[in-house]
């Protein structure tokens, strides 16, 4: 630092001599001042920031302690989130302003499964309360505190019951983390999110009533706006109010000390872009009947689509492309599922009763190998034969009855043919018939060949799989005779 002393000495001598400083001396002095000021400003800024953060953390800790004290004073049964798991009176999220700054308090309350060595396992031995405080400006966490509470009186003991819900992607069979699961019972509703295993445990639940609206717990799950729940695992339209059975994955009874484990499957709907081409590879521009469904037996939806100019038909826009996203039958609508092997059958022209063209059946499936869930559409190409291959399809009438012989209207009827070999014009046909009319009958036009099967499904939920029913006078197979008419058959559902 000798050079600094030198400059300082020269400055003092210049003052005594009342002479000015040189330009170089002025520049050097300004540089020295700038260096010193920069370091000083940095120190002051850091000190101010640290002081501000310390003050914010102190305020956050005070807010968290206030919330902890509030929860600690509650009755044990009230310690829970509003509509949460366990249920209670505590708000999950709050915002508060202190000294012009806004803070967010988030409370999480969980059951802790930590039984004594000889105690009856309930999954609800005590409660863990976690309070997290963040500042709103940048969502930085300022503090997190915990509180553990146990019941001061007798616990539910062996009367405790619990429902464990697991959410899985239907196509991948993988757990869905952070899926929102709701439990309804009209008086004891609860809401929680799944962990990394796709699971959530609703512990210390009140057993179901033996009758009335609280005889069942209803369960619903959601993994975001793009996911849907499997149709048969969807609860009642008004959950928590139906005391009627039967029990399903989303509608279950709970007995004292019972643990019910149930799985809810969700999926992202997919789309089939069905490209219908002539034998020369050019798009088909005419009309057709398109059947989309699964080979029997199946619980999945299936539908016959009219593609043409008739009333109610989808118009072929001359590019030969038919887009399918939803299948509707007598039991409601269902989006096309990933991982499910559907079949697509095209018959031209639409409403054909003579000189018909049956295209070879095409498999349609979008699975993980196609990129699901990142890819949600698939191109399905159907190529029509060059000429008609069925001269005259035969009208076969199918009657659906119950075990007492009463004709059932609104029953779903599916026709399937897995026969192969010589003389089989249209192998692997799937014809989703739809529903029976007022007389419990459904009429379907079929090529003259062997090996058909029929499935009937009553609106009450009963199934009847009729393999090789009596059609065409045969007692061993469902065959459409090579000549003459197709005699009717009756399918009974219990």
- Residue 369: CATH number of its domain: 2.60.40
CATH code of residue 418: 2.60.40.1120
Q: Are residues 437 and 467 in the same domain?
A: yes
Task: Report yes or no on 232 lying in a domain.
Answer: yes
Q: Are residues 206 and 218 in the same domain?
A: yes
Q: Count H helices, E strands: the chain? A: 2, 29
Which tokens go with 89?
Answer: 């009176």
Helix (H, G, I), strand (E, B), or coil: what is residue 123?
Answer: coil
Give kind and range of the element (H or E) at residue 63: helix 23-72
Q: Are residues 332 and 432 in the same domain?
A: no
Q: Are residues 417 and 316 in the same domain?
A: no
Q: Are residues 209 and 226 in the same domain?
A: yes
pLDDT reported for residue 46: 64
pLDDT reported for residue 376: 97
Rounded Cα distance between 489 and 443, Å, is: 11
Q: Are residues 257 and 298 in the same domain?
A: no
Cα–Cα nearest to 176, from 228, 124, 136: 228
**Domain containing residue 475:** 394-493
Residue by residue, DSSP assigns 167-182 as EEETTT--B-TT-EEE
Rounded Cα distance between 227 and 169, Å, is: 9
Q: Are residues 415 and 360 in the same domain?
A: no
Which residues does 435 contact at the CB level (< 8 Å), separation at least 6? 329, 330, 409, 410, 411, 412, 413, 442
Task: Report yes or no on 409 lying in a domain.
Answer: yes
pLDDT reported for residue 240: 67
Handedness of CA 195, 250, 400, 477 (dihedral sign): positive
Q: Are residues 164 and 247 in the same domain?
A: yes
Which residues does 422 contact at the CB level (< 8 Å), separation at least 6? none
Q: Are residues 167 and 240 in the same domain?
A: yes
The CA angle 51-52-53, to the nearest 5 degrees, is 95
pLDDT reported for residue 476: 29
Task: Report yes or no on 259 lying in a domain.
Answer: yes
* Domain end call among 247, 267, 287: 267
pLDDT reported for residue 458: 72
Task: Report yes or no on 190 lying in a domain.
Answer: yes
pLDDT reported for residue 380: 97
pLDDT reported for residue 31: 75
Q: Are residues 359 and 401 in the same domain?
A: no
* Domain end call among 221, 246, 267: 267
pLDDT reported for residue 166: 94
**Total of domains in the chain:** 4
**What is the mean pLDDT for each group of 10 consecutive residues in the chain (494 residues)?**
61 58 71 70 60 82 90 88 88 91 92 73 81 92 87 60 91 94 79 90 83 84 92 78 76 86 95 96 94 70 84 87 87 87 91 88 92 97 92 83 84 73 60 77 81 71 40 39 70 67
Q: Are residues 182 and 247 in the same domain?
A: yes
Which residues does 473 contact at the CB level (< 8 Å), separation at least 6? 481, 487
Q: Are residues 245 and 293 in the same domain?
A: no
Confirm if 130 and 68 have CB atoms less than 8 A apart.
no
pLDDT reported for residue 353: 84
- Residue 240 gets the label, from left (phi > 0), alpha (psi -120 to 50) or beta, of left
């Amino acid at each position: 630092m000798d050079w600094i002393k030198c400059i300082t000495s020269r400055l003092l001598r210049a003052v005594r001599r009342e002479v000015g400083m040189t330009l170089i001396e002025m520049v050097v002095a300004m540089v020295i001042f700038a260096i010193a000021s920069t370091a000083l400003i940095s120190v002051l800024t850091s000190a101010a920031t640290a002081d501000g953060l310390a003050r914010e953390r102190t305020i956050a800790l005070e807010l968290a302690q206030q919330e902890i004290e509030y929860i600690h004073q509650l009755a044990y049964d009230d310690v829970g989130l509003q509509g949460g798991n366990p249920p209670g009176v505590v708000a999950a999220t709050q915002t508060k302003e202190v000294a012009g700054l806004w803070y967010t308090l988030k409370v999480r309350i969980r059951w802790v499964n930590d039984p004594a060595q000889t105690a009856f396992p309930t999954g609800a031995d005590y409660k863990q309360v976690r309070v997290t405080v963040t500042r709103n400006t940048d969502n930085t966490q300022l503090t997190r505190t915990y509180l553990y509470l146990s019941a001061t009186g007798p616990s539910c003991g062996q009367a405790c019951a619990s429902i464990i819900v697991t959410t899985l992607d239907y196509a991948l069979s993988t757990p869905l983390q952070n899926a929102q699961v709701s439990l309804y019972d009209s008086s004891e509703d609860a809401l929680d999110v799944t962990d990394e295993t796709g699971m959530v445990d609703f512990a210390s639940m009140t057993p179901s009533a033996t009758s009335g609206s609280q005889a069942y717990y209803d369960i619903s799950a959601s993994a975001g706006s793009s996911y849907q729940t499997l149709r048969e695992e969807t609860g009642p339209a008004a959950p928590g109010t139906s005391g009627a059975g039967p029990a399903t994955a989303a509608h279950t009874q709970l007995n004292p000390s019972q643990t019910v484990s149930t799985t809810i499957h969700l999926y992202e709907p997919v789309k089939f872009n069905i490209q219908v081409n002539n034998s020369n590879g050019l798009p088909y521009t005419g009309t057709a009947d398109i059947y989309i469904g699964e080979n029997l037996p199946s619980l999945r939806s299936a539908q016959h689509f009219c593609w043409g100019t008739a009333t109610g038909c989808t118009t072929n826009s001359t590019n030969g492309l038919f887009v399918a996203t939803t299948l509707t039958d007598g039991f409601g609508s269902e989006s096309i599922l990933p991982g499910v092997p559907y079949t697509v059958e095209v018959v031209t022209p639409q409403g054909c009763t003579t000189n018909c063209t049956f295209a070879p059946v095409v498999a349609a499936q979008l699975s993980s190998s196609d990129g699901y869930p990142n890819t949600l559409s698939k191109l399905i190409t159907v190529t029509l034969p060059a000429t008609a291959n069925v001269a005259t399809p035969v009208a076969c009438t199918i009657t659906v009855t119950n075990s007492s012989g009463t004709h059932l209207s609104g029953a779903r009827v599916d026709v399937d043919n897995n026969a192969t070999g010589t003389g089989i014009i249209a192998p692997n046909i799937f014809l989703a018939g739809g529903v029976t009319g007022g007389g419990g009958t459904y009429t379907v036009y079929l090529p003259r060949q062997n090996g058909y099967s029929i499935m009937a499904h009553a609106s009450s939920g009963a199934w009847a799989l009729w393999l090789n029913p009596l059609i065409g006078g045969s007692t061993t197979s469902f065959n459409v005779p090579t000549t003459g008419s197709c005699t009717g058959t009756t399918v009974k559902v219990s």
